[in-house]
């Protein structure tokens, strides 16, 4: 479009997401931490065989997954690309530490979750493998958490990396939520559990929680 950049900036971002999608939750946390108002358009991943698979949504995200965001006159997909864009255009409060070494640590934690765990337990993969969905998901979450636990033991202060909330925390909490859904034994991961318990008490994490979104079914509403 030929809308000016400043005019585009006045329009609220729209998040295409699903209440229970961990990647959608990442983006909701980032918006909440930065105090950015946005609209939500629900894409129900289950109903009608999955609304992410419609031609209409494929035009928004050719990968046929949530989240996608329209913001400043463009459409973005991939939760971490979306969050990086928000970070670069709306830098306060920052979601990446100032220190390059700590930034490196944040990115390790994000990549373990976003590349090494979540893709292996997402709905599409579980539907493809058919049987033993729960064991499959548990296996890959355990494998990733076994790596994350000693890393976080080294990097954590109050939060995943030091005492400042970062993208690592934004990735961790929704992944722990998935782990709990798949009944992973969290007692093996005391550092992950401690960080999660601290983070879920913070307003931005609470307000964005799957239990209180516009598309949360009534019987799951908190
Ligand atoms: N790397 C993508 C991101 O970070 O945004 C992953 C997105 C993703 O896996 N989305 C899931 C989805 O849309 C929900 S968390 N699943 C629908 C499906 O698997 O058909």
Residue 215 lies in a domain: no
ipTM confidence: 0.97
Q: With cut-offs at 50, 70 and 90, classify the pLDDT of residue 5.
A: confident
| Residue 99 reports pLDDT greater than 80 | yes
Nearest-CA residue for ligand 1 atom 3 is: 78
Alpha-carbon gap, residue 133 to 99, rounded angstroms:
40
Dist CA 98 CA 43 (whole Å):
36
pLDDT at 191: 98
CB-CB contact of 69 with 16 (8 Å): yes
> What is the reported pLDDT for 35?
97
Report the number of distinct structural domains present in the chain: 2
Do the domain assignments include residue 212? no
Give the Cβ contact number of residue 136 at 10 Å: 17
Look-up of token digits 């585009």: 8
Domain boundary residue, one of 63, 93, 123? 93
Helix pair 190-199, 133-155: axis angle to 10 deg: 80
pLDDT of residue 10: 81
In a domain, 216, yes or no: no
Residue 222 forms part of a structural domain: no
pLDDT in tens, 126-161: 999 988 999 999 999 999 999 999 999 999 999 999
113-130 per-position pLDDT tens digit: 999 999 999 988 999 998
Full residue range of the structural domain in which residue 33 is found: 5-93
Which residue among 123, 126, 128 has the greatest number of ligand 1 atoms within 8 angstroms of its CB, and so is best to mutate? 123
Residues 113, 46, single domain; the answer is no
Ligand 1 centroid to 4 CA: how many Å?
31
Same domain for 132 and 87, yes or no, is no
């Amino acid at each position: 479009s030929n809308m000016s950049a400043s005019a585009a900036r006045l329009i609220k971002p729209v998040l295409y997401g699903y209440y229970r999608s961990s990647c959608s939750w990442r983006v909701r946390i980032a918006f909440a931490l930065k105090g950015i108002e946005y609209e939500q358009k629900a894409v129900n991943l289950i109903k009608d065989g999955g609304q992410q698979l419609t031609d209409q949504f494929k035009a928004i995200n050719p990968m046929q997954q949530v989240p996608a965001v329209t913001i400043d006159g463009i459409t973005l997909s991939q939760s971490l690309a979306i969050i990086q864009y928000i970070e670069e255009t709306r830098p306060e409060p920052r979601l990446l530490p100032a220190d390059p070494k700590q930034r490196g640590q944040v990115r390790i934690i994000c990549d373990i979750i976003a590349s090494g765990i979540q893709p292996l337990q997402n709905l599409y993969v579980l539907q493809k493998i058919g049987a033993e969905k729960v064991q499959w998901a548990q296996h890959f979450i355990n494998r990733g958490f076994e790596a994350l636990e000693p890393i976080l033991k080294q990097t954590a202060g109050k939060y995943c990396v030091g005492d400042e909330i970062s993208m690592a925390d934004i990735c961790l909490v929704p992944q722990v939520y998935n782990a709990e859904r798949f009944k992973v034994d969290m007692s093996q991961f005391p550092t992950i559990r401690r960080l999660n318990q601290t983070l879920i008490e913070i307003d931005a994490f609470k307000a964005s929680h799957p239990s209180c979104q516009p598309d949360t079914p009534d019987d799951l509403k908190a």
